[in-house]
Amino acid sequence: MNVLQMTDVTRIHGAGHTAVTALRDVTLGVASGELVAVMGPSGSGKTTLLSIAGGLDRPTAGSVEVEGAEISALRPSELARLRRQRIGYVFQQLNLIDGLTAAENVSLPLELDGVGRKQARQAALTAMSAVGIEELADRYPQDLSGGEQQRVAIARATVGKRSLLLADEPTGALDSITGESVLRLLRGHADAGGASVLVTHDARFAAWADRVVFLRDGRVVDETNTPEGPESLLVPR
Amino acid sequence: MSVAMSLLALLDESPNYGLQLRNLFEERTGGVWPLNVGQVYTTLARLERDGFVRRRPSDADEKLYEMLPAGRRRLREWFATPTRKDAPERDALVLKLVLALGRSDLDAADVIQAERKAAVELLQQYTKLKRDGTEHDLGWLFLLDSLIFQAEARVRWLDMCEERLTRTQQPKSNRKPSRPRERIEVKS
Ligand SMILES: Nc1ncnc2c1ncn2[C@@H]1O[C@H](COP(=O)(O)OP(=O)(O)OP(=O)(O)O)[C@@H](O)[C@H]1O
Ligand SMILES: [Mg+2]
C-alpha cells in the first residue's frame, strides 16, 4: 500500500468560461521509503497537486488516499487529525505565525495534539537542530532571515512522527549548501521509511529524489526511470 | 593541456611511473575521466622534451619520472592563471534544438523534454554518488558538484528554450532568423 495514492485527480477552479483546470487526470503513488520530486513551470499545477495530497484542497474528481484512508470520506475532525499527526507540509509561503517564537511555531502541531508543553519543546528543538537552527529557538519569525524562516517551516513539518512529508519549494530562499542540507533531510525522512513529495523547479534538488515527475499544464507528461547504478557513469563514452 | 598539468601536479607530490600516474589521476577524479596509458606516456614525453620533467637517470628503471624546477614554475603559473574558455565548443544538443525548429515532422518541445529527462536522470546518478560519498573527500565533492552544476545549467537552458517556444506561437517560417547575425567563433 502506498502512503499516498492519488488516482485520476482533476481540479477545476471556478466554473463556466472562467474555469481553470489546474490538474487533469493525475495519478501518482508514493510508497514508504520513497522521495518523489515534481517539476514543472510556474502555473503547471504543482502547488495544487500538493495541497490536494495534503488534504488542504479537494479534487473536483478522482480519489486521494493517505495511508489507505480516502480523504474525501473523512469527517472534518478526522481530516484535521490526519493532517496534524501524519502529514508534514512545508508551504511555498511558509505560513509561520508572527506572534509565536520559532520553537513555538515548530511545536504547535504537537501542542494542538495534546502533547505536553515541555515534551513538545524538546521535540521542536530536535527538529530544529536537524536543520541547524536550534540556537534560533526563541527568536520571532520577523527577526529571522528568509532562509532561517524556511528552515523553521521545515522543522515544523518534520516534528513528531509524520509519515507523509509534502514540501513546496522548500529550498527557495536557501544557498546551495543549505539547500543541500534540506534535501539530505527529506532524503533521510524517506530513507527512514517515510514518504516525501518535493515540489521544485530546480533540477539540482529534484535529483535527490528516487523519481522525478514532470508536470505540464496540469498533466503528468513524463517521469524519470529509476537510474541505473552510478557505475554506468564511470565507463568511457 | 589539463592532462599535462595534472601529471605535473602529481609528479610535484612525488616521482612516479607512468602507470601509477594514470591510476592516481583516475583515483583523484573518481574514474569519471578515464585516461589511457598511451596518452600518459605521450604527455610525459612532451613534458620531458620541454624540460619540465626528466626520467631519473640514476634509477635502474628508466621509466621513473621526476619534476624539474621549470616544471614546478610552470605548475605554479597554471594555478595562478584563471582558466579561460576562449571560444564556445560546438555543442551537439544546441545544434539539435536549433535544427529541430525548422522541421514539420517533429515537435521541438518533445525533443526538449526527452533531453531534459535524460539530463535529470544523469543528475540523479551524480547525486547518488554524492549521497554515497564521504563528506570528507573534498576533491571528489568538488568534481561531482561541478558535473552537477553543468547538468543543472543544461536543464535550466532547456526550460528557457521551452518557455520561449510556448511564448512564440508563430508560424514556423517566422522562427528562422531573417538576417545573418553577428558571428561567434566556434571551436570545431
Ligand atoms: N483558487 C484558484 N482559483 C483560480 N485559479 C487558480 C486557483 N489556484 C490556482 N489556480 C490556477 O491553477 C493553475 C495552477 O496553479 P498552481 O499554484 O498549482 O501552480 P504552480 O505550479 O504551483 O506554480 P508556481 O511554480 O508559480 O508556484 C494556475 O493557472 C493558477 O492560476
Ligand atoms: Mg506553487
- For cell 510556448, name the residue: B166
Task: Render A25-90 in DSSP notation, one character per residue.
Answer: EEEEEE-TT-EEEEE--TTSSHHHHHHHHTTSS--SEEEEEETTEEGGGS-HHHHHHHHHHTEEEE
Is-contact A182 A131, C-beta < 8 A? yes
Number of domains chain A is built from: 1
The verdict on a CB contact (< 8 Å) between A207 and B162 is no
Q: Which helix (H) or strand (E) holds A125?
A: helix A117-130
Q: Domain holding A64: CATH number?
A: 3.40.50.300
User: For residue B188, what pLDDT is reported?
Assistant: 47
How far is the CA of B58 from the CAs of A86, B48, B54, in angstroms? 73, 16, 11
> What is chain B written as a DSSP string?
-HHHHHHHHHHHHS-B-HHHHHHHHHHHTTTSS---HHHHHHHHHHHHHTTSEEE-SSSSSTT-EEE-HHHHHHHHHHHHSPP---SPBP-HHHHHHHHHHT-SSS-HHHHHHHHHHHHHHHHHHHHHHHHHS-TT-HHHHHHHHHHHHHHHHHHHHHHHHHHHHHH----GGGGS-SSPPPP---B-
In this prediction, residues A137-151 reach a mean pLDDT of: 91
Average pLDDT for chain A: 90
A51, A90 in Cβ contact below 8 A? no
Residue B171 C-alpha cell reads as 508560424
Q: Tell me, yes or no, if A221 comes closer than 8 A to chain B by beta carbon.
A: yes
Among A41, A222, A225, the residue with its CB nearest the CB of B159 is A41
**DSSP category for residue A135:** G
pLDDT in tens, chain B (188 residues): 689 999 999 999 999 999 999 999 988 887 778 888 999 999 999 999 999 999 987 666 668 999 999 999 999 988 888 877 666 667 788 888 888 887 788 888 998 999 999 999 999 999 998 887 766 688 888 989 999 999 999 999 999 999 999 888 554 444 444 455 566 665 54
CA nearest ligand 1 atom 6, residue: A13
> How far, in Å, CA of A162 to CA of A143, rounded?
28
For chain A positions 137-196, those within 8 Å of chain B (CB to CB) are 187
List, for residues A29-38, the tens digit of each pLDDT value: 999 999 999 9
Residue A101 lies in a domain: no
Specify if A166 maps to a domain: yes
A226 part of a folded domain:
yes
The answer to whether the beta carbons of residues B20 and B28 sit under 8 Å apart is no
Selection from A147, A148, A161 nearest residue A103 by Cα: A148
Answer yes or no: are the C-beta atoms of A234 and A204 closer than 8 Å.
Answer: no
Distance CA A126, CA A131 (A): 9
Question: Interior CA angle at B71 toward B73 and B77, to 5°?
Answer: 35
For residues A97-112, average pLDDT: 93
Query: Given an 8 Å threshold on Cβ–Cβ distance, is A206 in contact with B120?
Result: yes
Bridge partners of A198, per DSSP, are A37, A167
Q: Are strands B65-67 and B53-55 parallel, antiparallel or unpaired?
A: antiparallel
Q: Compute the nearest-CA separation of B105 from chain A (Å).
A: 20
Closest partner residue to B34 among A203, A224, A236, by Cβ?
A: A236
Confirm whether pTM is higher than 0.90.
no
**A127 within domain boundaries:** no
> In this structure, is residue A75 part of a structural domain?
yes
Interface confidence, given as ipTM, is: 0.84
Q: In what order do the strands lie in the sheet with A20-30?
A: A20-30, A4-13, A61-66, A69-70
Counting ligand 1 atoms within 8 A of each CB, the residue from A24, A47, A89, A199 with the most, and so the one to mutate, is A47
Going from N- to C-terminal start, the domains of chain B cover 3-80, 92-174
Residue ranges making up the domain that contains A30: 4-95+162-234
- Ligand 1 neighbours by CB, cut-off 6 Å: A 13-14, 20, 22, 40, 42-48, 92
Topology (CATH) of B3-80 = Arc Repressor Mutant, subunit A (1.10.10)
Per the structure block, which three cell numbers stand in for B19? 602507470
The minimum CA-CA distance between A204 and chain B, rounded to whole Å, is 6
Other beta carbons within 10 angstroms of residue B165's beta carbon come to: 17
Kind plus residue range of the DSSP H or E element containing A160: none
B162:A204 CB<8 A = no
**Residue A30 placed within a domain:** yes
